[in-house]
């Protein structure tokens, strides 16, 4: 029988899971309506048209330009009562119209108070003015004359009467929703952010997570980039989001021109920007991850230190509370999520990342060799990705130090499951690079050890258990360490960060250990791309490049268990899951501390549709895959189980350079965690909050998919 109450529960769980407001996001909009100077009625209509659109899209906070109701460039007309009365009427009409709208609207208007005129931002929500914030820094240089008309709001705090009702007035206001965690915003006006120590600095230290700026900024050549840099730095330095909207078409061109730039930043990265120089109204909508901002502030003690150094600014701010009552259910995700957090889609950025990653590895190893005075290295060369990459890093490190590559001692050590293809590639690579190549067959030693252990394999039984695997991995490591003693060499490690996260390596006497590991902070997906990058940038000659390309095409495999048929290899990903998902988890779990359900939500938006969004440049067509929620949930649980169970392997890591900000699992480089912690809290959170599938919602998620508004919001790297 169909169990309706269970079905209802399932539907509710799915709806909650898909809701951005349940997942710690706040949807915001930077709006630039077309305007007419000194025409409040027209400007009101243009503002309302966007406000309705934003409300329909589930937006919580909409930022409009400075002096948007009057127009910014009206000069001495600011001092005309007819105009000021009409602006106030328009504002009151906007307040009435806002009763039917979801979002808080931040609009610009000139307002009178005690014989002075202020350049104000008015926060309007659901038929109420929440507060009015005056501009502090009035530009009065070159093309700006604001002090001719306006008083500075710097030292004023109190109330202002709008339409006869008193509302909070001052630059000391913070606005906070009582029903959406993290929706705390601050308002500043244009020049405020161009000054040293902008008001938003202190608002952020007082707790504001979303900083807004209502602007009117005439365009001159080069200025758009300056504005971007200001927003980028302000959002990065304040651990905040920054929403900026500057007036555009319709402002007076008597002496100036206007491009209308509106953009949204988070943690030092742009997530959305409107087209500029448009004659039509423009608006961009994006989802701010306020939860990530809160976690980042917690993680970085500097934020709190700065608050103390500035006398705990929260004591100086007044908080205005409001009830948002956000729209729930599936609103999609208005934010670009890279499928590969360590391999960005943006070609220029990816190229820069690869250049840096490769050179960090090379210089790390070069310095260790120079510092120790040890002439040689020993490395196990399997013909797989990791040892290939470590070997080319070593070749470049020896080149950098002017040492002969023949001092790199490469050992290929076939075992019970080594394939002809990888062995051939191992030899081709070593000879192409001009390193010293040796081959040691480990099978006799392994047979002896298995016999001594009375392992069934030694009795002729096809038992391929962990002992069988680790005997081979261990003997290879043993041989490398003893060869290093014998030949004055360092053992170069090859194990990557993804394997360390999953515990997919043999502890101690095994590939987990080395004298120095250049790959330990590199996720598998980045190693794959780095090899692609070295091949396409021709860092080595054609022979080597051809081998690199062939290695890229080989199945990822430990080659420890013999396969039923010739030419097949034991697939790592078939057993432990796709590295492309595991690297996704590593990034959001270890770098940001997001809960599993939110990581699954992000993964769904990144991975559900092969055709959506972009892929890293050069990513092979045939390897493009999609994952549905069931697979995401299952592989995330595998990750959590393995991650917790294998911390002991990370606690005892050899030295090696930290390469990426989201990526070091060394207890010295970044990640500290007890080796005996249980992972049940995380597994329970995943099971409780992530539905097994999406049938229960009966909605087509694809129609609500993430809207790529810009490239991934890579945070400022700390
Ligand atoms: N918390 C803890 N603190 C201290 N010790 C702990 C421990 N948990 C388990 N142990 C001990 O650790 C041992 C298990 O660890 P370990 O010996 O490493 O063995 P284990 O993790 O069980 O197996 C290694 C796995 O890695 C795979 N591998 C190996 C080599 C290369 C590759 C590759 O593709 O790259 C893959 C291999 O296929 C195998 O599945 C047990 O003896 C257990 O008693
Ligand atoms: N046949 C082999 N000869 C020499 N060394 C080996 C051999 N097999 C494994 N090793 C060593 O053990 C390490 C771990 O093996 P593993 O299979 O994880 O790595 P890989 O073969 O380099 O890459 P991938 O896992 O991507 O196939 C290798 O990087 C290499 O140093
Ligand atoms: N409205 C303003 O405060 C403008 C001044 C600012 N420097 C700009 O051009 O963007």
pLDDT digits (tens, 9 = 90+) for 576-611: 999 999 999 999 999 999 999 999 999 999 999 999
- pLDDT score for 705: 43
61-108 per-position pLDDT tens digit: 999 999 999 999 999 999 999 999 999 999 999 999 999 999 999 999
419 lines ligand 2 (CB under 6 A): no
Nearest CA to ligand 1 atom 19: 506
Task: Please tell me which residue in 31, 35, 66, 238 is annotated as part of the active site.
Answer: 66
- pLDDT score for 702: 41
Structure tokens at 516: 């120095």
598 half-sphere exposure, CB direction, 13 A CA radius = 17
In angstroms, what is the span from residue 148 Cα to ligand 3's centroid?
15
Query: Do residues 168 and 276 touch, judged by C-beta distance below 8 A?
Result: no
Same domain, 357 and 251: no
29-38 per-position pLDDT tens digit: 999 999 999 9
Is the residue at 694 inside a domain? no
Lowest mean pLDDT among 180-194, 343-357, 394-408: 343-357
Q: How many domains does the chain have?
A: 2
Q: Which CATH number goes with the domain that contains 144?
A: 3.60.110.10
Task: Please tell me which residue in 31, 35, 120, 190 is annotated as part of the active site.
Answer: 190
Same domain, 127 and 35: yes
Among the listed residues 269, 325, 264, 267, the one whose alpha carbon sits nearest the alpha carbon of residue 21: 325
Mutate to test the pocket of ligand 1, among 472, 507, 513, 667 (most ligand atoms within 8 A of CB): 507
- pLDDT score for 11: 86
Is the residue at 236 inside a domain? yes
Q: Which CATH number goes with the domain that contains 579?
A: 3.40.50.620
In angstroms, what is the span from residue 470 Cα to ligand 1's centroid?
8
Has 635 been labeled as part of a binding site? no
Has 96 been labeled as part of a binding site? no
Triad 467, 469, 472: Cα angle to 5°? 105
Does the pLDDT of residue 713 top 70, yes or no?
no
Is the residue at 110 inside a domain? yes
Ligand 3 atom index nearest CA of 218: 9
In angstroms, what is the span from residue 387 Cα to ligand 2's centroid?
6
- pLDDT score for 704: 47
Mean pLDDT of 185-202: 98
The overall longest dimension of the chain from CA atoms, in Å, is: 102
Residues 6+ apart with CB under 8 A from 90: 40, 41, 43, 44, 69, 109
In angstroms, what is the span from residue 246 Cα to ligand 3's centroid?
9
Same domain, 297 and 263: yes
Nearest CA to ligand 1 atom 6: 648
Nearest CA to ligand 1 atom 20: 506
Is the residue at 704 inside a domain? no
Same domain, 317 and 353: no
Mean pLDDT of 201-226: 98
Same domain, 624 and 661: yes
Has 380 been labeled as part of a binding site? yes
Query: Do residues 555 and 571 touch, judged by C-beta distance below 8 A?
Result: yes
258 secondary structure, DSSP code: B
What Cα–Cα distance (Å) separates residue 167 from each residue in 26, 162, 163, 308, 319? 25, 7, 10, 30, 13
Same domain, 246 and 389: no
What is the strand order of the sheet 116-125 is part of?
157-162, 165-170, 128-134, 116-125, 104-113, 61-63, 25-32, 282-289
Same domain, 496 and 417: yes
Structure tokens at 239: 């651990």
Query: Do residues 88 and 120 touch, judged by C-beta distance below 8 A?
Result: no
The Cβ of residue 150 has, within 10 Å, a number of other Cβ atoms equal to 20
Task: Look up 714 and say whether it is catalytic.
Answer: no
Same domain, 363 and 310: no
Domain of residue 82: give its range.
2-322
Q: What is the pTM of this model?
A: 0.95
688 secondary structure, DSSP code: H
Nearest CA to ligand 2 atom 9: 382
Same domain, 307 and 395: no
Ligand 3 atom index nearest CA of 189: 3
Closest ligand to the CA of 73: 3
Ligand 2 atom index nearest CA of 572: 25
Is the residue at 712 inside a domain? no
Task: Look up 66 and say whether it is catalytic.
Answer: yes
Closest ligand to the CA of 411: 2
Has 520 been labeled as part of a binding site? no
Has 68 been labeled as part of a binding site? no
Query: Do residues 260 and 278 touch, judged by C-beta distance below 8 A?
Result: yes
Query: Do residues 256 and 73 touch, judged by C-beta distance below 8 A?
Result: yes
In angstroms, what is the span from residue 88 Cα to ligand 1's centroid?
72
451-500 per-position pLDDT tens digit: 999 999 999 999 999 999 999 999 999 999 999 999 999 999 999 999 99
In angstroms, what is the span from residue 413 Cα to ligand 2's centroid?
9
556 lines ligand 2 (CB under 6 A): yes
Same domain, 295 and 361: no
Is the residue at 391 inside a domain? yes
381 lines ligand 2 (CB under 6 A): yes
Same domain, 278 and 172: yes
Same domain, 540 and 582: yes
Is the residue at 641 inside a domain? yes
Is the residue at 506 inside a domain? yes
Determine how β-strand 210-215 pairs with β-strand 184-189.
parallel
């Amino acid at each position: 029988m169909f169990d309706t109450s269970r079905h209802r529960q399932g539907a509710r769980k799915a709806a909650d899971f898909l809701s951005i407001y349940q997942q710690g996001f706040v949807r915001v909009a930077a709006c630039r309506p077309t305007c007419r100077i000194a025409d409040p009625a027209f400007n009101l209509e243009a503002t309302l048209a966007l406000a309705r659109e934003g409300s329909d899209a589930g937006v919580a906070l909409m930022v409009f330009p400075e002096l948007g109701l009057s127009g910014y460039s009206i000069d001495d007309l600011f001092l005309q009562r007819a105009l000021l009365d009409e602006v106030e009427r328009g504002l009151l009409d906007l307040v009435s119209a806002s009763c039917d709208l979801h979002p808080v609207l931040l609009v610009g208007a000139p307002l009178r108070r005690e014989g002075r005129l202020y350049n104000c931002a008015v926060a309007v929500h659901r038929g109420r003015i929440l507060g009015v914030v005056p501009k502090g820094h009035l530009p009065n240089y070159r093309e700006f004359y604001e002090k001719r008309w306006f008083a500075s709001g710097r030292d004023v705090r109190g109330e202002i009467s709008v339409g006869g009702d008193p509302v909070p007035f001052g630059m000391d206001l913070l606005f906070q929703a009582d029903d959406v965690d993290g929706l705390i915003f601050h308002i500043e006006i244009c020049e405020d952010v161009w000054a040293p120590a902008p008001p938003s600095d202190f608002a952020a230290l007082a707790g504001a997570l979303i900083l807004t700026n209502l602007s009117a900024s005439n365009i001159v050549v080069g200025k758009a980039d300056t504005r971007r840099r200001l927003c980028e730095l302000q959002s990065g330095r304040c651990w905040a989001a920054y929403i900026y909207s500057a007036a555009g078409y319709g402002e007076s061109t008597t002496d100036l021109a206007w491009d209308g730039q509106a953009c949204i930043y988070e943690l030092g990265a742009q997530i959305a920007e409107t087209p500029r120089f448009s004659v039509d109204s423009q608006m961009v909508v994006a989802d701010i991850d306020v939860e990530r901002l809160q976690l980042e502030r917690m993680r970085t003690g500097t934020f709190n230190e700065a608050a103390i150094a500035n006398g705990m600014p929260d004591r100086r701010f007044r908080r205005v509370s409001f009830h948002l009552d956000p729209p729930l259910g599936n609103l999609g995700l208005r934010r670009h999520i890279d499928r590969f957090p360590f391999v960005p889609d943006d070609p220029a950025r990816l190229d820069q990342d690869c250049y840096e990653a490769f050179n960090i590895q090379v210089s790390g190893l070069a310095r260790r060799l120079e510092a120790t005075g040890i002439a040689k290295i020993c490395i196990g060369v399997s013909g797989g990705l990791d040892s290939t990459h470590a070997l080319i890093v070593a070749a470049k490190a020896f080149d950098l130090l002017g040492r002969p590559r023949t001092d790199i001692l490469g050992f290929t050590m076939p075992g019970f499951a080594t394939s002809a293809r990888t062995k051939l590639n191992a030899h081709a690579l070593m000879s192409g690079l001009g390193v010293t190549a040796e081959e040691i067959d480990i099978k006799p030693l392994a047979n002896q050890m298995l016999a001594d252990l009375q392992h069934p394999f030694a009795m002729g039984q096809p038992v391929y258990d962990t002992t069988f695997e680790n005997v081979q991995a261990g003997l290879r490591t043993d041989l490398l360490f003893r060869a290093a003693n014998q030949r004055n060499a360092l053992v170069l490690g090859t194990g990557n960060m993804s394997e360390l996260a999953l515990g997919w390596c043999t502890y101690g006497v095994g590939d987990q250990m080395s004298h120095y590991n250049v790959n330990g902070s590199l996720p598998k997906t980045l190693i794959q791309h780095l090899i692609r990058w070295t091949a396409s940038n021709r860092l080595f000659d054609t022979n080597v490049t051809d081998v690199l390309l062939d290695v890229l095409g080989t199945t990822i495999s430990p080659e420890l268990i013999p396969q039923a048929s010739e030419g097949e290899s034991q697939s790592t990903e078939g057993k432990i899951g796709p590295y492309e998902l595991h690297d996704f988890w590593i990034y959001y779990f270890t770098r940001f501390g997001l809960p599993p359900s939110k990581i699954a939500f992000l993964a769904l938006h990144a991975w559900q549709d092969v055709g959506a969004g972009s892929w890293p440049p050069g990513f092979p067509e045939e390897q493009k895959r999609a994952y549905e929620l069931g697979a995401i949930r299952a592989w995330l649980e595998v990750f959590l189980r393995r991650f917790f169970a294998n911390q002991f392997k990370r606690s005892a890591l050899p030295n090696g350079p930290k390469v990426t900000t989201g990526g070091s699992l060394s207890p010295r480089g970044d990640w500290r965690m007890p080796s005996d912690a249980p992972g049940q809290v995380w597994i329970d959170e995943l099971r409780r909050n992530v539905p097994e599938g999406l049938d229960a919602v009966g909605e087509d998620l694809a129609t609500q998919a993430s809207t790529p508004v810009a490239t991934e919001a890579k945070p400022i790297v700390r």
